[in-house]
């Protein structure tokens, strides 16, 4: 099931506006990435190049256990290039399940916003170049 309108708020609002200035998500048949949902023992995950392409899988059980909006926003963070940081506080989106099931924050903190804006400052091509540089390819 494609649920591209159910992107995590308020990282991304239903109108497609995101809290990071350089990104605007639009719903469409030619989407760069999609949301799916179902049951998977691995939990939710993002299958992505980290540059806006791929898909996000949302596991039903995990989304009952953890705040669903936070899970969705977190996985979207991966699509936008953010890595996991499980040791971080609840105020960080990418700390994921680290702070426990009571954490309901679905907003990236200032550092995470800055990181995404930096990666996407000059658009997708520049973000790609930067990432390939970083990985030494």
Q: Is 84 annotated as a binding residue?
A: yes
Length of the chain in terms of residues written: 137
Question: φ and ψ at 55, to 5 degrees?
Answer: -145, 160
Count of residues near Zn ion by CB under 5 A = 2
CA distance 31 to 8: 16
Q: For residues 40 and 84, which CB has a smaller minimum distance to Zn ion in the complex?
A: 84
By the 8 A CB rule, do 101 and 66 touch? yes
32 binds Zn ion per the rule CB under 5 A: no
Catalytic residue from among 9, 37, 75, 133: 75
Q: What residues contact 28, with CB distance under 8 A and at least 6 apart?
A: none
54 binds Zn ion per the rule CB under 5 A: no
Whether 92 is catalytic = no
| Tokens matching residue 77 | 């963070």
Q: Cβ of residue 8: shortest distance to Zn ion, in angstroms?
A: 13
Nearest in space to 86 (alpha carbons), one of 99, 77, 76: 99
57 binds Zn ion per the rule CB under 5 A: no
| Tokens matching residue 135 | 């990985």
Contacting Zn ion within 82-121 (CB under 5 A)? 84, 96
Q: Is 69 annotated as a binding residue?
A: yes
Rule CB under 5 A: which residues touch Zn ion?
84, 96
The binding site for Zn(2+) comprises: 74, 78, 84
Active site residues: 75
């Amino acid at each position: 099931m494609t649920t591209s309108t159910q992107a995590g708020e308020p990282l991304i609002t239903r109108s497609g506006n995101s809290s990071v200035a350089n990104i605007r998500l639009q719903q469409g048949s030619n989407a760069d990435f999609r949301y799916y949902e179902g049951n998977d023992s691995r939990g939710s995950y993002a299958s992505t190049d980290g540059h806006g392409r791929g898909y996000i899988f949302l596991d039903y059980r995990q989304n009952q256990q953890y705040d669903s909006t936070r899970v969705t926003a977190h996985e979207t963070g991966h699509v936008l290039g953010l890595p996991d940081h499980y040791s971080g506080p609840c105020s960080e989106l990418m700390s994921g399940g680290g702070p426990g099931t009571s954490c309901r924050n679905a907003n990236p903190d200032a550092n995470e916003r800055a990181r995404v804006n930096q990666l996407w400052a000059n658009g997708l091509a520049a973000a790609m170049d930067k990432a390939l540089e970083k990985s030494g390819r």
